[in-house]
A = this chain, B = another copy of it.
Amino acid sequence: MRYFVAVAEELHFGRAATRLHMSQPPLSRAIKQLEADIGALLFTRSPVGVTLTPVGTVLLDEARALLDHADRVRVRVSAAAGVATLTVGILGDGTDPGVARLAAAYRRDHPGVDIRIRDTDLTDPTCGLRAGLVDIALTRAPFDETALTVRALRTDPVGVVLRADDPLARRDRLRLADLSDRRWFQFPQGTDPLWQSYWNGGRPRAGPAVRAVQECLQAVLWSGTVGLAPLGHDLPAELAVVPLIDMAPSRVVAVWNEGDTNPLIRSFVEIAITAYRH
């Protein structure tokens, strides 16, 4: 299940394998075996890329829910066994090494606490905070903040992601008006409106609906849409990012449920604040 979700989110066997800390051939074999067990193909493989079949789409939702459930069982049973757990939600693929160092620092200071990192896709900036999937989220504003406590950590300037061969990609800065005739990728309906509107620059020119970082990049690469991203992340060579000068910078924040009195949250936020103020 974890293997399948990784491939479905990356839409790329090689990348999924590195994310799972394993090599590509056993991953291919495992997926093949899963497909044999189910009796249907889960992915369409083509050299241009991997996509989900209808059966795969069904399984992706089910598998995510099942893995969430299993995680909650672990937390509850650990709690019954007297081991405190703090679940931290982060947005997108957890390749950001900053979070790993943060977690390591926290583990050093609180040896008895079991700290878990939970990646979420881009459709919920609160990382499932309201649903109880995480205790605290390290994420980006803006989103509906009712019943949540938000603490600012950092701001990042924002740029537009384009194909490297796009005429605009050679400019050293852009305005939103320069992109008025472009199609923007959207998030699926049901996504927080503030979030949705921020990341498509307030434009309703709907392109494909994406859920994950890799899907965003693929949307730009394949269907020629444009999308926004915070600066300072590495991109594949076929993509370029150009700073936007009339866009409010992206605020990195820590969020937790307003009434949550778990003392581990406070101490984690303290460590996060000092870590982000480098």
Contact = CB atoms under 8 A, between A and B. Distances in A.
Total copies of the chain? 2
Interface stretch (A71-79, A132-140, A231-239): A71-79
A62 B72 CA distance: 9
Given A66-B70, A69-B69, A55 B77 contact: yes
Given A62-B76, A76-B62, A40 B70 contact: no
A192 to B, nearest CB: 27
- A interface majority secondary structure: helix
Interface in A18-74: 38-40, 54-55, 58-59, 62-63, 65-66, 69-70, 73
Contact of A40 (B40, B59, B65, B81): B81
Given A66-B69, A69-B66, A59 B80 contact: yes
A211 to B, nearest CB: 19
A39 B83 contact: yes
A244 to B, nearest CB: 41
A82 interface: yes
Contacts of A55: 77, 80-81
Contacts of A73: 59, 62-63, 65-66
A112 to B, nearest CB: 11
Contacts of A81: 38-40, 55
Contacts of A82: 40
Contacts of A78: 38-39
A70 B238 CA distance: 40
26 contacts: A38-B77, A38-B78, A38-B81, A39-B78, A39-B81, A39-B83, A40-B81, A40-B82, A54-B80, A55-B77, A55-B81, A58-B76, A58-B77, A58-B80, A59-B73, A59-B77, A59-B80, A62-B73, A62-B76, A62-B77, A63-B73, A65-B73, A66-B69, A66-B70, A66-B73, A69-B69
Of all A-B residue pairs in the complex, the 9 with the closest CB atoms, nearest first, are: A40-B81, A58-B80, A62-B73, A55-B80, A55-B81, A59-B77, A66-B73, A69-B69, A39-B81
Given A39-B81, A65-B69, A66-B69, 10 more contacts: A38-B77, A38-B78, A38-B81, A39-B83, A55-B80, A55-B81, A58-B76, A58-B77, A58-B80, A59-B77
